[in-house]
């Protein structure tokens, strides 16, 4: 299974990014091969619709699960319709969150915010 | 050739500075004129004008509709849309209507001709009359993301009477709706409050107006005795101050009662008439300078 996580740096020791759509990178972690692939987030400089574009790249890279601290309504729409499970990440590193997910201690994200429309919070 | 009336855009970096106060009162002392409320998220000029003989039109935008039986799932529409209004889910396009800018590109690019368009109502434009003032009011429906199509229609409607002077009550701030509102303006009148926060907001709109290369002037609102940071800012930047409106109990009371001060009181009629004179003098000077270039 592939897990997608927005991250600040291209490292397993990176913090999970506080933003989903505007995260600088995404990590795609494969639980079978234990390989992690870091990709630039093409949506980071979008004028609008960054969440949709970021969600699209999660879907296009065949992730079945996303770990994120927050997620907008539009991104959620893309992810849900594509049957990607959205789990709420915890503060800590990418590695700690992948371990927490493996230990089934992460919960499904239930709170989705309206878009920021270019106004970063 | 008939002569054109000047278009004066009234703007400020934040709400509550006095854009509506200034534009409503200027239109009221300008004789036959147009008042255009482009603050489509919260239009309030009509509360003062209480226009009658009202007519209304719905404003629609075009939204793509996918014919799923024709769609071959090539994904070109989703990749083309730079507003990210089309996601590609389970080999089919999925449209986020609020993000669509109605450019029509997806329908053009689709090789299967699977994308058509339908109309979607986003708001309305009302036209009414108050004394000698024709009042145009745009209203964006609640929950809609962009008021631009409504502002465009308002300004198109205003152009039908372009022999009249027009006063454009802009939305607050310095983002897209403001840019759309000042696009065709001949002059930008910036309303400023006498606070540091007011200066910050004044700088934002001043920077915007500079980018557009529009002639501009400032009216200082809520003036008190003592230091006025907005006035200092104008002096530092060599920004033209065209008038001063006092922080005045009577003016505040008239305004909060939904009355037009220039129609109620000779004192304020004089104040706004002299502001209008100053503005028109500048507009004339700019026009003359322009024709010599």
Dihedral, B30, B32, B37, B43 alpha carbons, nearest 10: 90
d(CA B7, CA B228): 29
d(CA B273, CA B279): 10
- B174-183 pLDDT, tens per residue? 999 999 999 9
Residue in chain B lying closest to A51 (CA): B84
> Which residues of chain B neighbour A74 with C-beta distances below 8 Å?
96, 99
Of A50, A78, A117, the CB nearest to B89: A78
**Minimal C-alpha gap between A99 and chain B (Å):** 29
Could you tell me if B75 and B94 are in contact, meaning their C-beta atoms sit under 8 angstroms apart? no
pLDDT tier at B293 (50, 70, 90 boundaries)?
Answer: low
Domain segments of chain B as ranges: 7-59+124-292, 68-113
| B96–A47 C-beta distance less than 8 A | no
Three-state secondary structure call for residue B246: strand
| B94–A49 C-beta distance less than 8 A | no
B160 lies within 8 A of chain A by CB: no
E-state strands within chain A: 2-7, 25-30, 36-40, 65-68, 85-88
Of B85, B90, B96, the CB nearest to A82: B90
| A47–B99 C-beta distance less than 8 A | no
| A50–B145 C-beta distance less than 8 A | no
| B145–A74 C-beta distance less than 8 A | no
| Cβ burial B254-266 (10 Å sphere, 16+ → b, else e) | bbeeeebbbbbee
Of B90, B94, B99, the CB nearest to A49: B99
- ipTM above 0.90 for this complex: no
A46 lies within 8 A of chain B by CB: yes
**Minimal C-alpha gap between A55 and chain B (Å):** 9
Helical (H) or strand (E) element with B236:
helix B229-237
Write down the pLDDT at residue B201. 95
Could you tell me if B197 and B12 are in contact, meaning their C-beta atoms sit under 8 angstroms apart? no
What is chain A's mean pLDDT, rounded?
A: 90
Reply yes or no on whether the pLDDT at A44 is more than 70: yes
**Minimal C-alpha gap between B158 and chain A (Å):** 30
pLDDT tier at A112 (50, 70, 90 boundaries)?
Answer: confident
- CATH (one of 3.30.70.20, 3.10.20.30, 3.40.50.10210, 1.20.1250.20) for B68-113: 3.30.70.20
Largest CA distance in chain B: 72
Fold matches, B7-59+124-292 and B68-113:
no
Going by C-beta distance under 8 Å and a sequence separation of 6 or more, which residues neighbour residue B254?
B260, B261, B264, B265, B268
Write down the pLDDT at residue B122. 94
- B171-214 pLDDT, tens per residue? 999 999 999 999 999 999 999 999 999 999 999 999 999 999 99
Write down the pLDDT at residue B144. 85
d(CA B164, CA B161): 6
- A17-29 pLDDT, tens per residue? 999 999 999 999 9
- B75-94 pLDDT, tens per residue? 999 999 999 999 999 999 99
Could you tell me if B197 and B166 are in contact, meaning their C-beta atoms sit under 8 angstroms apart? no
pTM of the model: 0.79
Could you tell me if B107 and B64 are in contact, meaning their C-beta atoms sit under 8 angstroms apart? yes
CATH class of B7-59+124-292: alpha beta
Dihedral, A65, B98, B211, B217 alpha carbons, nearest 10: -130
| A56–B99 C-beta distance less than 8 A | no
Could you tell me if B46 and B68 are in contact, meaning their C-beta atoms sit under 8 angstroms apart? no
| B96–A74 C-beta distance less than 8 A | yes
Reply yes or no on whether the pLDDT at B69 is more than 70: yes
> Which residues of chain A neighbour B85 with C-beta distances below 8 Å?
49, 52
> Which residues of chain B neighbour A60 with C-beta distances below 8 Å?
88
> Which residues of chain A neighbour B94 with C-beta distances below 8 Å?
77-78, 81
pLDDT tier at B58 (50, 70, 90 boundaries)?
Answer: very high
Interface test with A, best of B41, B89, B146 (most A CBs within 10 A): B89
């Amino acid at each position: 299974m592939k897990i997608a996580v927005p991250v600040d740096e291209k490292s397993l020791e990176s913090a999970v990014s506080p933003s989903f759509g505007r995260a600088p990178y995404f990590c795609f972690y494969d639980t079978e091969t234990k390989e992690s692939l870091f990709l630039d987030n093409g949506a980071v400089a979008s004028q609008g619709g960054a969440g949709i574009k970021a969600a699209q790249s999660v879907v296009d890279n065949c992730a079945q699960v996303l770990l994120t601290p927050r997620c907008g309504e539009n991104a959620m729409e893309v992810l849900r319709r594509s049957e990607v499970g959205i789990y709420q990440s915890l503060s800590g590193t990418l590695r700690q969150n992948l371990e927490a997910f493996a230990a089934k201690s992460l919960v499904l994200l239930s709170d989705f915010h309206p878009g920021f429309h270019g106004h970063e919070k | 050739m008939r002569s054109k009336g000047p278009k004066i855009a009234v703007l400020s970096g934040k709400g509550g500075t006095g854009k509506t106060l200034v534009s409503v009162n200027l239109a009221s002392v300008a004789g036959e004129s147009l008042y255009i409320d482009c603050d489509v998220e919260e239009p309030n000029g009509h509360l003062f004008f209480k226009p009658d003989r009202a007519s209304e039109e719905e404003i629609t935008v075009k939204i793509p509709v996918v014919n799923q039986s024709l769609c071959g799932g090539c994904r070109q529409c989703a990749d083309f849309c730079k507003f990210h209004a089309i996601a590609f889910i389970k080999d089919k396009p999925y449209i986020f209507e609020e993000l669509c800018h109605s450019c029509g590109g997806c329908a053009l690019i689709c090789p299967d001709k699977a994308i058509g368009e339908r109309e979607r109502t986003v708001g309305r434009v009302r036209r009414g009359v108050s004394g000698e003032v024709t009042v145009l009011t745009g209203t964006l429906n609640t929950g809609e993301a962009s008021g631009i199509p409504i502002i465009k229609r308002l300004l198109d409607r205003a152009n039908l009477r372009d022999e009249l002077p027009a006063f454009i009550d802009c939305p607050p701030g310095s983002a897209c709706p403001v840019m759309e509102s000042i696009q065709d303006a001949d002059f930008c009148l910036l309303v400023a409050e006498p606070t540091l926060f007011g200066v910050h907001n004044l700088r934002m709109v001043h920077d915007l107006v500079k980018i557009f290369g529009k002639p501009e002037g400032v009216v200082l609102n809520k003036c008190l005795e003592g230091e006025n940071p907005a006035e200092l800012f104008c002096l530092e930047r060599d920004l033209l101050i065209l008038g001063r409106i006092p922080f005045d109990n009577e003016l505040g009371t008239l305004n909060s009662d939904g009355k037009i001060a220039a129609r109620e009181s000779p004192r304020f009629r004089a104040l706004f008439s002299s502001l209008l004179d100053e503005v028109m003098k500048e507009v004339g000077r700019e026009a003359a300078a322009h024709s010599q270039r």
